[in-house]
A and B are shown apart, each in its own frame.
Chain A
Amino acid sequence: MNYLLTTLTKKQEVDSMIRDTIDKVLVLCFGRASDSIFLQLDEILYKSVREVSKFATVALVDIDSDDVQVYVKYFDITLIPSTVFFFNAHHMKMDCGSADHTKWVGTFLRKQDFLDVVEAIYRGAMKGKLIVTCPLPPDRIPKFQLLYKDV
């Protein structure tokens, strides 16, 4: 799978990734390689990795691996692809107008959107904010229905 970014399959890898990214935003994307939307997301990420490399690191997590299921449950991942942002091992929330602020669900429509989102997260984190507002207008944000405890 050399057409994807660094994919993590073990919890320990994810842990070390989270712990070793210091003063940079960590973008963890959970998904399945067979999913077309996830591949599109990966495409955009791959193009932007270098540009944000000074203030962000990007990694993919394969949700089909067993080791990582703890995280899948912990982060409440029900829709894929889902992206979770971390800064200095602290989870960053983003208010995109949807119900779930803890993660970004879906792909980004443009590379610029992704850059905007990561920049917003970085700026908020540097100011000490754990939750930031999404800089994108609502029509650019993928919509989804949040299921509450399998209802």
Chain B
Amino acid sequence: MPIQNPNPNKKKKKHSNQDDDEDDTVQGKQLTQFEFCKVCRLNHKQGRRHIYFPNHKNALSSFLSRFQSKLKNDVAFYLKKPMPLRPEHAAALNRLWCVFCDFDILESDSSFACGNAIAHLASAEHLKGVKSFLWKYGGGMDRMDSFRISESDFTKWEKKCKLLKSEAAGGGSHGSLIGPLNDIHNESKSEYVNSFDKNKLDCLTSDVKCSNTVVPLQDHTIERSQISHSKICTVGPQMLHAGTGVGLGARTPNGLPGFFGNQHYTHSVPKEGPAYSCPNDGKQVYPYEGIAIGDRHSQGTSSEESRLQSLQNLTQISSSAQENGGGNVHSGAPPPWFSAAEKIQLDNKLNQGLGDLVSSLGEQMKTSKLNPKRVGAAWAERRKIELELEKRGELVRHDFGADWLPNFGRVWQSGSRKDSRKEFLGENKTWRKVDSQIEKPSQLQPYISKRMRTDNTAE
């Protein structure tokens, strides 16, 4: 009888791998447990060694640089220049996921843009989170400060916020003009830059309505800066003043992307200066910066003004087009040459086509999934065909015979399985012979000695 071992197993082993499954394997080595690396997004049993592997290091650098760029674009900019947060933007778009503390910072009730985020990044809990993250994932403890806001910066920001509030509350017309003007200019710029964050179009259209003095330009051009250059002076004091003037203005249409890449960098990372900014085109960096921002020495020539006018015209047209609200490529609306009726027809056709595709795919999936190398594949295919034929009634089911035996590898066997079958059949025959031989002398007869028998026969 089989000897059954009682099972004093204390450890529970689960069939499927789950995220935080502990798999203690005591094999003479250390006890390794499965951990989940947030950076590489995988489960591993490598323990503390994992953070030194090159794959992890690469993943970590990209992970942190992504978060850092978010911080720079968003938070650092608003840290320098606090702006009131519009409630329409606050709802769902203004949020930041803090990767160190693993939680989402919503801008639900803060009066200033990124207020909650800045407050969180300056807090002590965040500092703890950053420390533990860097320790766990090996980012380098010296980089801690780049992921948080120091207290001095935070207090400065708060002061600026208070100033703004007081200005907004009790400020005169000039003050009020300056406020929204600044906001329009900077906010729209930053929104261009942070397109994933805010809905720029709504903001711009609303701004058009609220202030008549400043024309909302969607293009960041030299001329635009000149309109409100006196107001911009606070933004980028560190910028170069070397402006080559008008000649470069002509390049604006082509050079816009590069330019606005510069704008982005110059505004959001003022500290690091021009050396850090545009990776696009080295040539464009200096001249554009000079003209764009701190250029108080620019010459307001008539040619520039006319260019300004044309630009103004351009922008007006575009804004009115968007005010129609007909939808665009980004919202996924159909192109205008696509009439509604045709669209419905096409949709129906597509749905039918998709349905057919799906069903045929399903069938194909079933048949193509089976590995041709699987055990008994050839036999299975033949058998399937046989069964189908039998179903159809074409092929009469032929008996396999009472002696059919499956392919079996015997216990004490050496050689192929066919041999085992032959062996068995051979053995079987001997057994059968033995059986039949035993069966014959069924009648038991008393023993008669030879002498007796011979006596009998003789007699």
Contacts and interface: CB of A to CB of B under 8 A. Distances in A.
Given A23-B380, A90-B407, A102-B410, A145 B3 contact: yes
Interface string A69-111: 0100111100100000011111111000001111001100100
Interface of B: 1-5, 7, 9, 13, 15, 370-371, 373-377, 379-380, 383-384, 387, 400, 402, 404-412, 417, 424, 427-428, 431
A60 B3 CA distance: 22
A147 to B, nearest CB: 11
A4 to B, nearest CB: 20
A89 B408 CA distance: 9
B375 A129 contact: yes
A100 B2 CA distance: 13
B400 A15 contact: yes
Given A18-B406, A105-B2, A140-B7, A88 B412 contact: no
Nearest to B413: A102
A144 B374 contact: no
A146 B371 CA distance: 35
Nearest to A141: B5
Given A74-B424, A125-B375, A148 B412 contact: yes
Nearest to A137: B13
24 contacts: A11-B402, A15-B400, A20-B383, A23-B374, A73-B424, A74-B405, A74-B408, A87-B374, A88-B377, A90-B407, A91-B406, A91-B407, A91-B417, A100-B411, A115-B15, A125-B374, A127-B371, A127-B373, A128-B371, A128-B377, A137-B13, A139-B5, A140-B9, A144-B2
Interface string A108-131: 010010011000000011111110
A109 B408 contact: no
B380 A22 contact: yes
A76 to B, nearest CB: 5
A19 B410 CA distance: 19
A139 B72 CA distance: 57
B400 A19 contact: yes
Contacts of B384: 22
